[in-house]
Chains A and B, each alone.
Chain A
Amino acid sequence: MTQVDVANVSKVHISMKGEPLLALLDVNFQVEKNEFFSIVGPSGCGKTTLLNLLAGFEQPTRGQLKVGGEVISAPGWERAVVFQEYALFPWYTVVQNVRYGLQRKRVPDAEQKRLVDHYIGLVGLRGFEARYPRELSGGMRQRVSIARALAVNPSILLMDEPFASLDIQTREYMQDELLKIWQSEPKTVIFITHSIDEAIKLSDRIAIMAPRPGRVEEIKRVDFERPRDPTDPAVVHLAAEVKLWLRQQVFGASKPAGEAGRSEKASAY
């Protein structure tokens, strides 16, 4: 069942100099219910712009984004966001952060307590309930942020490079945890990352974006059984294929990067 429908979406940003810039051009894709859908691409390809549109923080210049048949017009808890820099409220403790969305939803107190306890346990933060975010490590903060987003029971979880600022061990651990949570409580996840390996490890499908103007060039299905072994030849092959393809998109086919950059500059003027 199609849950998210992005149809012919374009977005123009106004630069600081006042010039219009094409951040997204004719983006089209659908996401199924309970699918793990990743969007990968180099920086500047409009990944975050796309997430801002899906979250409802910004409106598209052209086209439409729909969830369950309804046009996205404003942010809301049914599309909870996990940000790269966590965006935890520094003045609230772990419990208060996780409870935040439940209070906004007017969930009864007893139910709030139960859910907060459940999700704090799910992300493995028992014993840290009374801490403030700045007393936690980066990985723990991101777990609070994930618990906070899951607690409101969104139909879609939007994740904007959630593990990008974590060290590699913590990142891999968090990826495994996220998969476990997603398998125990199925949910549509739209996951933005610049790491192809991460996308292949986690996703059902991957949308590959290219920059200038930001566009979705290809959508790849990843059919391997989870948990996926990054050293499995098939996985390695797919990763290499996507990486090569992306490099060609960004730097031009089979040319050294420097030369491609120059020719691009020349064509821009």
Chain B
Amino acid sequence: MTEARSRALDPPPAGGREHSPAAAPRHGARAAAAGAPQPRVAATSEAMAELARSMVPPPPPAWRRALSRISRLWLLVAFVVAWQLISTYGQRINPQLDVMMPPPTAVVSAAVDLTERGVLMTHVVDSLKRVLLAVGAATLLGVPLGLAMGWSRRFRAAVDPLLEFIRPIPPLAWIPLSILWFGIGDLQIVYIIFLAAFFPVVLNSMAGARDVDTYLVRAGLSLGARPRELFVTVVLPAALPHIFTGMRIGLGIGWMALVAGELVAAPSGLGYMINNARTLFRSDYILLGMVLIGVLGLVLDYLMRQAARIVMPWHRGQ
């Protein structure tokens, strides 16, 4: 399969091309490239595309590209190997290292162990659910608020002082009060994550709506756009990259707040798992929780970037 694809990407052997009758215009184009007098009428765009293709070196085969992609991760691999070596051989010098710093293999076996007992998935799913729910709510409320603040100076003047007063309060400072309000459970943790994710979403959406090129607004107005149309066709698309940035930051900060929230008070989740493992001296479970949080954060950010690519095709590669 991959071989077939790489063959399709490779240009056909040069010999075969010279003899095929279809090669005639290409031949002319190549002669021009070699410095021969250019034909008055430019060759067809088809021939030009072929010429361009012949000038670029053929893409490397698929296995080579896969290899080069993997080889870029050498530092990560080196880190894991070093960790493994230090943890296993370090125990000969300091036996406590077994508990203080279990090796990657211990983390993997902890993952297998907890998966077999059926608890790992529950923790992961509970944490993910809370984060997505909270960031979703922060987006639903924060994006319209931010856009409105960016769009209307008067609205911003009214809302800004209130927002700037609440914003510096760390989400963690809300935990005691939120436990009083919501009790210990999903709702309370979702609230903490929501607070953490809300402000980056609002502020970035606001920046996006303020950043709209004056000329684009004027172009819209002079082409007859009414205020609501102007908002949907100009302000919103112009602000989208900022909105996505806000959501990505919100997701990152929300993920941090999740663990903090679950460490303090939660019936389940990765933060709870870490805290519970601490009381049992199971440092392999602690490390497993940390690794999972890192990996899940990475995956969520990757998905966000892919979503942005799909939603903003004009923005690709910028």
Chain A residues within 8 Å of B, Cβ to Cβ:
55-57, 74-77, 79-81, 83, 85, 87-92, 100-101, 104-105, 132, 134, 148-149, 152, 158
Contact = CB atoms under 8 A, between A and B. Distances in A.
Nearest to B221: A75
A152 B221 CA distance: 13
Interface string B272-316: 000000000000000000000000000000000000000011110
Contacts of B221: 56-57, 74-76
B312 A76 contact: no
A148 B223 contact: yes
B7 interface: no
B147 to A, nearest CB: 16
Contact of B314 (A56, A90, A105, A158): A90
17 contacts: A57-B218, A57-B221, A75-B218, A76-B224, A77-B223, A79-B222, A88-B219, A89-B216, A89-B237, A100-B220, A101-B224, A104-B223, A104-B224, A104-B225, A148-B223, A149-B223, A158-B222
B133 to A, nearest CB: 30
B237 A91 contact: yes
B311 to A, nearest CB: 10
Main secondary structure of the interface of A (DSSP, over half): loop
B211 interface: no
B229 interface: yes
Interface of B: 213, 215-216, 218-226, 229, 233-234, 237-238, 240, 312-315
B314 A132 contact: yes
A124 to B, nearest CB: 15
Contacts, number: 68
Contacts of B222: 55-57, 75-77, 79-81, 158
A152 B215 contact: no
A81 B224 contact: no
B218 A55 contact: yes
B225 A83 contact: no
B202 to A, nearest CB: 23
Nearest to B318: A134
Contacts of B238: 91
Contacts of A148: 223
Given A57-B221, A87-B215, 15 more contacts: A57-B218, A87-B216, A88-B219, A89-B216, A89-B234, A90-B315, A91-B237, A91-B238, A92-B314, A100-B223, A100-B233, A101-B224, A104-B225, A134-B314, A152-B224
**10 A-B pairs closest in CB distance:** A101-B223, A104-B224, A77-B224, A75-B221, A87-B215, A91-B237, A87-B219, A75-B222, A81-B222, A132-B314
A56 B233 CA distance: 20
Contacts of A75: 218, 221-222
